[in-house]
């Protein structure tokens, strides 16, 4: 048996256009995997966000089934109850749990949705949601001591990556990347696991911090920036680290390189709560004199039918009688109001008066089940090129800045996958119509392991 039998390299937010088209000749290791394997664009979950996307990929379940609709989710029906969902929200077995049950020794390193750490048949290092290395961040716990001995400054994420400290962020990004790949190499050498998966968050972080200097399509393009090649150079570095990692694996190791979603320039923000106020759905007791989050202003809930939340996409919540504390919308009017909102949002224009493509999703129509407290509507502005801004007091529908700090990029609905299986070389086969849900059934099928019932995805012809 090769060691590992299967290696998954997760590169959060890695953009297919940059890897497959623009920079392919500069990425020799990824190119080699492409040329001997199957590759293609990979449709993300809706929403296309790190949390829940990696958990969807690893469980084969959609956000509705998981009850995870983004980083922050409503804890209860109170108006301001959004809280971060960590790995405890995931109630289904993940790929490494299923492989562990089948007798595989596994290692899962920093996969989003794996904090806090929990027992696996092997090793687990928790993800960037872990507050610090002062709390347990590994299974078994003594692995944490070993990591600290190997890397005294072990990083769980790039601190404060939405800031103007660009040189410091860049330095942190390389450290984060190098630590993940070095840790993978050390664990393969020490433990010889059957399965190893790592996720590098650096790709995502560098897009958010350095897209403006790279892309002439960006509305705030910075053509003469010293950081013009920062993203390109980081991709080249990641490619080199992929090559280094493959050198410590057996030649027969099957390799999957995968991103949970893509990236694109951030064109601006749509102020969803300002739109709801202007259209008479949301009423404040008095307009704020400065820009504030909605939970810091007084909402007249008795006069409010709808409110929204910001983020990569807009979440729309209806103030339903008998469901919310001061509900105003009768359940009999619920569907009609959802349809009315969808129709009005579809008429949105960009600041120049051009139609803005808007997709409005009803959770009940896109998910296999709807658990937890889902948004009543999920809204994508121009396939996520525009983000949703939840703050009020902006006195306009559009912003150029993100309300959570400097941000150059937004997510895109298509990530990528490259699968290279030396036992069945494919010669650069392009995969069409692949979805992130297909990863789990495809891998289990490849190794002859029975898949859990009710998975959303299909087996890809890799």
The tokens of 94 are what? 């993940």
Q: Rounded to an integer, what distance in angstroms lies between the CA atom of residue 389 and that of residue 186?
A: 43
Band of pLDDT at residue 104, cut at 50, 70 and 90: very high
Can the peptide bond before residue 428 be classed as cis, meaning omega within 30 degrees of 0?
Answer: no
In sequence order, what DSSP letters do the residues of 385-427 get, joined into one string? TEEEE--B---SSEESS-TTS---EEEESEEEEEEE-TTS--S
Q: Rounded to an integer, what distance in angstroms lies between the CA atom of residue 277 and that of residue 221?
A: 32
The tokens of 239 are what? 């490619």
Region 91-114: mean pLDDT is: 98
HSE-CB for 71 with a 13 A CA cutoff: 10
Region 67-75: mean pLDDT is: 94
The pLDDT tens digits for 382-395 are 999 999 999 999 98
Q: Rounded to an integer, what distance in angstroms lies between the CA atom of residue 112 and that of residue 157?
A: 11
Q: What is the pLDDT of residue 400?
A: 83
- Taking a C-beta distance cutoff of 8 angstroms, is the pair 172, 158 a contact? yes
Q: What is the pLDDT of residue 403?
A: 66
Q: What is the pLDDT of residue 260?
A: 98
Domain boundaries, the chain: 6-265+411-446, 268-406
- Taking a C-beta distance cutoff of 8 angstroms, is the pair 73, 370 a contact? no
Region 202-218: mean pLDDT is: 95
Q: Rounded to an integer, what distance in angstroms lies between the CA atom of residue 33 and that of residue 335?
A: 48
The pLDDT tens digits for 173-206 are 999 999 999 999 999 999 999 999 999 999 999 9
Burial readout 175-203 (b: 16 or more C-beta within 10 A, e: otherwise): bbbbbbbebbbebbeebebbbbbbbbbbb
Q: What are phi and psi of 355, to 5 degrees?
A: -60, 135
- Taking a C-beta distance cutoff of 8 angstroms, is the pair 66, 92 a contact? yes
- Taking a C-beta distance cutoff of 8 angstroms, is the pair 306, 317 a contact? yes
Q: What is the pLDDT of residue 155?
A: 96
- Taking a C-beta distance cutoff of 8 angstroms, is the pair 73, 85 a contact? yes
- Taking a C-beta distance cutoff of 8 angstroms, is the pair 25, 19 a contact? no
| Owner of token pair 């092997």 | 122
* H or E element in which residue 243 lies: helix 230-247
Q: Name which of 241, 261, 255, 233 is nearest 410 in CA terms.
A: 261
Let me know how long the chain is: 462
With 0-12 / 13-18 / 19 or more C-beta atoms within 10 angstroms meaning exposed / middle / buried, residue 287 is exposed
The pLDDT tens digits for 295-308 are 999 999 999 999 99
Q: What is the pLDDT of residue 307?
A: 98
The tokens of 37 are what? 């394997």
Mean pLDDT, the chain, as a whole number? 96
Q: In this predicted structure, which of 37-51, 152-166, 362-376, 426-440 has the lowest mean pLDDT?
A: 152-166
Region 91-120: mean pLDDT is: 97
The architecture CATH gives domain 6-265+411-446: 3-Layer(aba) Sandwich (3.40)
Region 144-168: mean pLDDT is: 93
CA angle 197, 417, 446 (to 5 degrees): 65
Band of pLDDT at residue 67, cut at 50, 70 and 90: very high
Q: Name which of 217, 211, 255, 260 is nearest 234 in CA terms.
A: 211
Q: Rounded to an integer, what distance in angstroms lies between the CA atom of residue 227 and that of residue 231?
A: 8
Q: What is the pLDDT of residue 402?
A: 67
Q: In this predicted structure, which of 83-87, 109-113, 262-266, 279-283 has the lowest mean pLDDT?
A: 83-87
The region, left, alpha or beta by phi > 0 then psi within -120 to 50, assigned to residue 169 is alpha
The tokens of 72 are what? 């922050």
Give the percent of the chain with pLDDT over 90.
Answer: 94
Region 231-244: mean pLDDT is: 98
Q: Is the pTM of this model over 0.85?
A: yes
């Amino acid at each position: 048996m090769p060691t590992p039998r299967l290696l998954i390299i997760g590169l959060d937010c890695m953009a297919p256009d940059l890897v497959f088209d623009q920079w392919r000749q500069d990425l020799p290791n990824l190119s080699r995997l492409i040329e001997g394997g199957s590759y293609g664009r990979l449709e993300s979950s809706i929403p296309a966000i790190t949390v829940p996307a990696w958990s969807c990929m690893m469980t084969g379940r959609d956000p509705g089934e998981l009850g995870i609709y983004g980083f922050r989710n409503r804890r209860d029906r109170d108006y301001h109850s959004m809280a971060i969902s960590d790995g405890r929200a995931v109630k289904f077995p993940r790929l490494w749990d299923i492989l562990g049950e089948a007798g595989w020794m596994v290692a899962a390193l920093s996969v989003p949705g794996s904090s806090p750490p929990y027992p696996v048949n092997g090793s687990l290092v928790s993800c960037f949601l872990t507050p610090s290395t002062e709390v347990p961040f590994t299974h078994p716990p003594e692995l944490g001591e070993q990591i600290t001995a190997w890397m005294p400054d072990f990083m769980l994420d790039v601190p404060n990556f939405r800031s103007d400290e660009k040189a410091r962020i860049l330095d942190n990004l390389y450290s984060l990347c190098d630590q993940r790949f070095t840790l993978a190499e050390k664990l393969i050498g020490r433990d010889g696991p059957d399965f190893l998966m790592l996720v590098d968050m650096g790709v995502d972080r560098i897009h958010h911090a350095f897209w403006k200097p790279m892309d002439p399509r960006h509305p705030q393009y910075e053509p003469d920036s010293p950081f013009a090649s920062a993203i390109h150079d980081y991709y080249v570095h990641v490619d080199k680290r992929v090559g280094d990692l493959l050198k410590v694996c057996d030649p027969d190791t099957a390799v999957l390189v995968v991103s949970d979603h893509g990236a694109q320039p951030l064109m601006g923000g749509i102020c969803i709560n300002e739109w709801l106020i202007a259209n008479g759905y949301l009423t404040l007791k008095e307009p704020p004199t400065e820009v504030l989050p909605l939970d810091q202003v007084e909402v007249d809930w008795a006069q409010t039918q709808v409110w929204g939340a910001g983020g990569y996409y807009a979440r729309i919540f209806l103030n339903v009688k008998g469901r919310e504390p001061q509900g105003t919308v009768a359940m009999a009017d619920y569907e009609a109001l959802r349809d009315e909102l969808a129709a009005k949002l579809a008429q949105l224009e960009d600041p120049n008066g051009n139609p803005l493509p808007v997709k409005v999703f009803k959770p009940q129509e896109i998910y296999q089940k709807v658990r937890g407290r889902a948004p009543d509507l999920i809204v994508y502005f121009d396939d996520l090129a525009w983000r949703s801004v939840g703050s009020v007091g902006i006195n306009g529908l559009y912003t150029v800045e993100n309300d959570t700090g400097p941000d150059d990029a937004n997510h895109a609905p298509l990530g990528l996958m490259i699968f290279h299986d030396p036992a069945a070389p494919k010669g650069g086969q392009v995969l069409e119509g692949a979805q992130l849900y297909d990863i789990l059934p495809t891998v289990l099928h490849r190794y002859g392991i029975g898949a859990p019932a009710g998975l959303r995805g299909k087996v890809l012809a890799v």
